[in-house]
Amino acid sequence: MSDENIVYIGNKPVMNYVLAVVTQMNTGVPEVMLKARGRAISRAVDVAEIVRNRFMTDLEVGSIDISTEEMTSREGSNSNVSAIEIKLCKTE
């Protein structure tokens, strides 16, 4: 999957990411990947559900992958951060 089909979820309002996904899908892309880490995971799930239920009812969740990434802080200490990838696909 190319980088232009990936929407990275952060601290912006949910509807900004919903608009990004809908815009990607309307350009003819068959699937979009949502990626989030840490506290943004719940926002990524919200984006996927809002897009599926309100804007594009012909989408389905292709796959959901969860993982843990080890982050190194500026002080040098390591901490584990959860991550999620949600693939949204158009149905035929």
Q: How, if at all, do strands 59-72 and 78-90 pair? A: antiparallel
| pTM of the entire predicted model | 0.90
3 and 16 Cβ atoms separated by less than 8 Å: no
Q: Summarize pLDDT for 20-52 with one digit per residue, the tens.
A: 999 999 998 999 999 999 999 999 999 999 999
Instruction: Calculate what percentage of the chain has a pLDDT beyond 70.
Output: 97
48 and 85 Cβ atoms separated by less than 8 Å: no
